[in-house]
Chains A and B, each alone.
Chain A
Amino acid sequence: MSILEIKDLKASIEGKQVLKGVNLTVKQGEVHAIMGPNGSGKSTLSLVLMGHPKYVVEGGSITLDGVDVLSLKTDERAKLGLFLGFQYPVEVPGVQLNTFLRNIDQKFNPENKTGLLKFKAQLSSNLKELGWQDEIANRYLNEGFSGGEKKKSEILQALTVKPKFCILDEPDSGLDIDALKSVAKGVSELTNAGRIIITHYQRILDYIKPDKIHVMIDGKLVLTGDHTLAKELEAKGYGWIKES
C-alpha cells in the first residue's frame, strides 16, 4: 500500500511564508478533506505538492513510498503517482481533449498497451460516468469550457491517469447539483487512489464520505476529525477553532 507523508512542510511565495509546518499522512485508498477559511494555505499546499515553480520550500519533507518528492520536477512527480486537479484549470487551445487523453493514457499506462479501440471504449465509459456525450472530447482542452466543465475535465484526466494520490482543489466550485453528483461519482471511481479534497463546503462530502477531515488555518492543519466535522464547520464556521 502506498503512503504519502508530509512532515513539517513550510513554504513561501515572494518572501511571504504561507505554509508554516503542515503534517499529513494519506494512505492509498483513503479520502481526506481539507477545509479552512480563504487564504489559509490550502491551494498553496496543492501547488507545493506538485512543485509549482513560484513557491519556495523552506523546510520539511514530502515522501511518496519513501521517495523524496521535493527533489523531483513536476513531471517526475506526476509519473511517481501524484495528480493535481486544479482549482483553475488552464486552457490549451489547439490540443484536442481526446488526443490529450490518449497521450496521457500512453504515458501513464504503458503496461496496458491499450489499443485505440479499447482506449475509445474506456473514454466513452468515463465520459458517460461524468454525464458527458462523446462529442465533448473533440473540443480543445478546457477551451471555452464552463467552470463546471473544467472540473469534470480534471476528473476525466484523473480517471485516465489512475494516480496513486490525487489532490483535488475545490472540485465542487461552480457546479450545479447534477454536475456535482457527476464529479462526486468520478472521484468515487478513483478507489485505488489516496484522495485529498480541498473544499469550502460540506455538500460534496454528502456524496464522498471522507475518512478524515482536516482544518487548515494560517498555514497549519490545526484540527482533524471524522466526517461529522464538516457539518459542525458548516454550522459554526471557523471562528471557534481560531479562538481555541
Chain B
Amino acid sequence: MVGLKSLDPIVYSSLREKILSSNSRFKEKRLEALDYFEKNDFQKEKDSPIQGFYMDYYSLPYSEIDPSFKEYKEFDYANLIPFNENKFIAFHYAISDYKILTLDENKEYEYVQNSDFEHLILKVSKDVKASLTVKKKGVRNFTSLVCEIILEENSSLNYFDIQEYHSDTKNYSMKRFDLKENSRNQCFSYEKASKWSVSVTDHYFTGKNSQGVNYSAFIADNEAHVDFKNNSFHFVPNTKNDIIANGLCNNASQAVSRGLIHINKEAPNTLSHFASNILLLDNKSKANALPSLEIDNNNVSSKHAAAVSNVDKQQKFYLNSRGFGDKEAEQLISKAFVFKISNKLESPFKEQVNTFLETKV
C-alpha cells in the first residue's frame, strides 16, 4: 500500500518504467506530470470543515495502478486543463487513458466510464444540438475522470453527469466546459458522494454570447466526504451563467460547496450567479458553503448566495399535520430540496433528469 501524498520510491520508479516502456505518444508529458505530482504538495484549501481532507491522504493499492495508455490518435493532447494545475491532475495526466468523443449529430449520446483513470475529450461540433449522459459507477479504490468539453460555435449541449461510485471509492472528478461564440450548455450533475469525493465543474466562457446553466445536487450519506466546486470564468463580453449547487448531508457526512465567479476586464455585460444550499439531516453532519467573486469589470451583474441549514421545523410540522410521519416529512423536504433545482431545467432535459431523480432521492 502506498499513499498518494507522495509515492513510495519503488512505486514511483515502477510507474516511471511503465510509462517509458509504453507506446504512449505523450511519454515525456506523462513523465513531466508524474514528476510534478511527486515534487509538489496538495494545495491547502481554506475553511473546509473536513479536517485533513487534502493533507492526510488515503492509501492506494499499487495493484490498482495499471495504466493501459489507451490513446486516440485522431486527437491531439488535451490542453484545456494543464497537467500542472494541481497535484491530482498531475497524477491523473501521468497514468490516464485518453479518449475522444465528437458529438456531430443532433442526438442523445451516452458515455460510461470504463477504467479507473480516464481523460475524456469531448467536442460538440458547430451548429449541433446534442445531449450527453456521462455515467460514473462501480466499485473502485481510487478513480479520476477528467472531461474537457468544447462547445463549438452555435452548438448546444444538455450534459447530464451521473456519479454513483461505491461508497468506499475515493474519487476526483473534473469537467471543464469551453463555450465558444453563441454556444449554450445546460448541465445537471448528480452525485452520490462516497468516502472521499472531490468534484469540480468549470465553465470557461471564451466566445461572445455564450450561455451556461450549471445545476447540481449531491447526496452525502453514511460518513461521506465531499468537496464540491463550481466555477465560472468569463473572458469575453455578453456571456451568462447560472450556478445552483444543492446538497444533502446525512449520517455524520461532511461537505463543502465552493463557487467562484471570475469576470475579466474584457467581459462587460456578463450575467453570472452562484447559489448553494446544503441541508443537514442530522446533527453529526457538517458543511460549509463558500462562494467568492473576482470581478474586474464594472458593467456586469453578479450575485452569490450560500446557506447551510437544518430541516425547517415549521415545514416539518406542516407536513406532519398533513399525515406525514417525521421520517416521511424529512424525506419529502429533502426531495423537494433537489427537485426545486432540476425543475428549473428546460424541457425535455428536465423530464429526463426528474425521471432519474425520482428513483434516487
Q: Is A176 an interface residue (CB 8 A)?
A: no
CB-CB < 8 A to B315: which residues of A? 90, 92
Contact among A75, A77, A78, A95 with B336 in the assembled complex (CB-CB below 8 Å): A95
Assess whether B318 is in contact with A90, with CB atoms less than 8 Å apart.
Answer: yes
Could you tell me the distance between the alpha carbons of A122 and B197 in the complex, rounded to whole angstroms? 47
* Given A90-B314, A94-B338, A74-B320 contact (CB < 8 Å): yes
CB-CB < 8 A to A74: which residues of B? 317, 320-321
CB 8 Å contact bits of A76-107 with B (1 = contact, 0 = none): 01110001101001101111000010001001
CB 8 Å contact bits of B6-44 with A (1 = contact, 0 = none): 000000000000000000000000000000000000000
Assess whether B321 is in contact with A84, with CB atoms less than 8 Å apart.
Answer: yes
Could you tell me the distance between the alpha carbons of A75 and B330 in the complex, rounded to whole angstroms? 13
Could you tell me the distance between the alpha carbons of A106 and B182 in the complex, rounded to whole angstroms? 47
Q: Main secondary structure on chain B at its contact with chain A?
A: helix
Could you tell me the distance between the alpha carbons of A75 and B333 in the complex, rounded to whole angstroms? 16
Residue of A with least CB distance to B322: A104
CB-CB < 8 A to A92: which residues of B? 315, 318-319, 332-333, 336
* CB-CB contacts below 8 Å: B292-348 with A: 312-315, 317-326, 328-329, 332-333, 335-340, 343
* Given A90-B314, A90-B315, A50-B321 contact (CB < 8 Å): yes
CB 8 Å contact bits of A36-60 with B (1 = contact, 0 = none): 0000000000000011110000000
Q: Is A140 an interface residue (CB 8 A)?
A: yes
* Given A74-B317, A89-B318, A79-B336 contact (CB < 8 Å): no
* CB-CB contacts below 8 Å: B177-230 with A: none
Q: Is A238 an interface residue (CB 8 A)?
A: no
CB-CB < 8 A to B325: which residues of A? 73, 75
Contact among A52, A53, A93, A107 with B323 in the assembled complex (CB-CB below 8 Å): A107
Assess whether B322 is in contact with A78, with CB atoms less than 8 Å apart.
Answer: yes
Separation in Å of the A12 CB from the closest CB of chain B?
18
Q: Is A201 an interface residue (CB 8 A)?
A: no
CB-CB < 8 A to A100: which residues of B? 322
CB-CB < 8 A to A107: which residues of B? 322-324
Separation in Å of the A244 CB from the closest CB of chain B?
37
Q: Is A161 an interface residue (CB 8 A)?
A: yes
CB-CB < 8 A to A140: which residues of B? 336, 340
User: Taking each of B312, B318, B321, which has the highest tally of chain A beta carbons within 10 Å of its own beta carbon?
Assistant: B321
CB-CB < 8 A to A86: which residues of B? 318, 321
Q: Is A119 an interface residue (CB 8 A)?
A: no
* CB-CB contacts below 8 Å: A91-150 with B: 92-95, 100, 104, 107-108, 140
Assess whether A108 is in contact with B336, with CB atoms less than 8 Å apart.
Answer: no
CB-CB < 8 A to B317: which residues of A? 52-53, 74
Separation in Å of the A190 CB from the closest CB of chain B?
16
Contact among A50, A52, A77, A94 with B337 in the assembled complex (CB-CB below 8 Å): A94
Could you tell me the distance between the alpha carbons of A95 and B324 in the complex, rounded to whole angstroms? 14
Assess whether A94 is in contact with B339, with CB atoms less than 8 Å apart.
Answer: yes
* Given A94-B335, A94-B337, A79-B323 contact (CB < 8 Å): yes
Separation in Å of the A196 CB from the closest CB of chain B?
15
Q: Is A157 an interface residue (CB 8 A)?
A: yes
Could you tell me the distance between the alpha carbons of A86 and B318 in the complex, rounded to whole angstroms? 8
CB-CB < 8 A to A51: which residues of B? 320
Which A-B residue pairs are the 5 nearest by beta carbons? A94-B336, A94-B340, A74-B320, A78-B323, A95-B336
- List 28 interface pairs A-B (beta carbons < 8 Å), by A numbering: A50-B321, A51-B320, A53-B313, A73-B320, A73-B326, A74-B317, A75-B325, A75-B326, A75-B328, A75-B329, A78-B320, A78-B322, A78-B323, A83-B321, A86-B318, A89-B318, A90-B314, A92-B318, A93-B336, A94-B335, A94-B339, A94-B340, A94-B343, A100-B322, A140-B336, A140-B340, A157-B322, A161-B323
Residues of B within 8 A of A (CB): 312-315, 317-326, 328-329, 332-333, 335-340, 343
Told that A52-B317, A95-B336 touch, could you supply 12 new A-B pairs with CB distance under 8 A?
A74-B317, A75-B324, A79-B323, A83-B321, A92-B318, A92-B333, A94-B335, A95-B339, A104-B323, A107-B323, A107-B324, A161-B322
